Amino acid sequence: MKRIGWRFGTALFALPIGAALLTAVACVLFIAPVYTARLSLALQAPPGKLPMYGALLQSRRLADRAIDHFALQALWGERTRADARERLARSVRVGSDKGGLLVVEVDAPLPWLAADLAAFHLQELQALLDTMRAEAAAERRARLADALRSAQSGAIEARQALARSGIDEASLASDLHFIGAQWQALHQTLRQAQARLAALAVRFAPASAPYQAEAARVTALREQLARLEAARAPAPAHYAMAWREQQRQERLLTRLRLADDQLQQDAGRREEALLVVDRASLPERAGRPYALLLIVAAWAGTVAALLAWRRIRSPGRPAAARPSTSPA
């Protein structure tokens, strides 16, 4: 292989570097600088909702508000609103880092515009979340109001049905079913007293004072429980059903009123769904998109052109014909 001539070697070294330098100068002169503002958010929500927040940040509603607020169509010199919307979509990038934070990056030809656009996206996202939360709370209040009206009418009907049975609550004082709480408390006390009496029987003699006192207490409790059971006068079945229904409706109404009070308290308390980790500050460095790619392409293209020119100017010689070996 022949050695490359010194002139071609010099050209192969100098011309690609010159082309790369000229491309760099052209990038500085003709490609507008781009400033990037970065914003990091921590979401107080399940990880599965991260795509929803990204879709809200890139929604058409938010883009139109940003175009109107900053007059981007006139600032960027776009002829139509759709063109301005497409450029804004290319300028705003939404993603997540390894730690699960929502990252928003905004590119703009001016540093203040990049920072203000990022802050505007945060403000509008918070406003959208507040609106969605208010609409959801209003829907819950409407459903709870319907349930409250239904429970109130049910409680009124249950009271009326209880009154139509002809039996008042005073007549149920001897009904063990309706004084079940009193009977159960007395029965539990008797069991505890019997357990203490059995423990005293291990430590003391039956004639001792502590044992006799506890035995007398057990006897009194048994007599009281026997009198309560002997005075039982069961109420009619239809009244028992009406009473149970009235108690159920009252409990349901109480729970719904508590839920309504809790909902009103939650409405007055604002929940912060977004936690700003890194606010968008004024970017100090500018970048030029595709500048490095253009410089590398200019250098590689010049090298390829020189090698192609060398191959054309100095084609390889054909192989020499072999000498004849035929006999004389």
Q: What is the pLDDT of residues 196-236, one digit of tens each?
A: 888 888 888 888 888 888 899 989 988 887 776 665 555 55
Tell whether 300 and 239 lie within a shared domain. Answer: no
Tell whether 255 and 299 lie within a shared domain. Answer: no
User: Looking at the domain assignment, is residue 35 inside a domain?
Assistant: no
Tell whether 212 and 293 lie within a shared domain. Answer: no
Tell whether 167 and 222 lie within a shared domain. Answer: yes
Tell whether 205 and 310 lie within a shared domain. Answer: no
Q: How does pLDDT run across 251-279, given as a tens digit for each residue?
A: 888 888 888 888 777 766 655 567 788 88
> End of a domain among 235, 267, 299?
267
Tell whether 163 and 249 lie within a shared domain. Answer: yes
Distance between CA atoms of 279 and 84, rounded to whole angstroms?
Answer: 25
Tell whether 189 and 293 lie within a shared domain. Answer: no
Distance between CA atoms of 73 and 99, rounded to whole angstroms?
Answer: 36
Are the CB atoms for 305 and 52 separated by under 8 Å? no
Are the CB atoms for 121 and 274 separated by under 8 Å? no
Tokens of 207: 């004639």
User: Looking at the domain assignment, is residue 97 inside a domain?
Assistant: no
User: Looking at the domain assignment, is residue 33 inside a domain?
Assistant: no
User: Looking at the domain assignment, is residue 101 inside a domain?
Assistant: no
Query: Which residue blocks in 268-328 are alpha helix, DSSP H?
Result: 291-313
Distance between CA atoms of 302 and 310, rounded to whole angstroms?
Answer: 12
User: Looking at the domain assignment, is residue 298 inside a domain?
Assistant: yes
Tell whether 163 and 247 lie within a shared domain. Answer: yes
Q: Read off the pLDDT band of 146 (50, 70, 90).
A: confident
Residue 12 sits in which domain range?
Answer: 1-19+289-314
Contacts (Cβ under 8 Å, ≥6 apart) of 281? 37, 115
pLDDT at 15: 74
Whole-number average pLDDT of the chain = 77
Tell whether 308 and 243 lie within a shared domain. Answer: no
Q: Which of 103-112, 186-195, 259-268 has the lowest mean pLDDT?
A: 259-268
Higher-pLDDT residue of 317 and 50 is 50
Q: Which of 127-136, 149-158, 169-178 has the lowest mean pLDDT?
A: 169-178
Full-model pTM = 0.53
Tell whether 232 and 167 lie within a shared domain. Answer: yes
Q: How many domains does the chain have?
A: 2
Q: What is the DSSP letter of 168?
A: -
- Give strand pairing partners of 274: 43
Element (H, E) at 61: helix 60-70
User: Looking at the domain assignment, is residue 258 inside a domain?
Assistant: yes
User: Looking at the domain assignment, is residue 175 inside a domain?
Assistant: yes
Tell whether 192 and 297 lie within a shared domain. Answer: no
Tell whether 301 and 262 lie within a shared domain. Answer: no
User: Looking at the domain assignment, is residue 106 inside a domain?
Assistant: no
User: Region 115-137: what's the mean pLDDT?
Assistant: 87
Contacts (Cβ under 8 Å, ≥6 apart) of 103? 38, 39, 40, 41, 94, 95, 96, 97
Residue 11 has pLDDT above 60, yes or no: yes
Distance between CA atoms of 221 and 194, rounded to whole angstroms?
Answer: 10
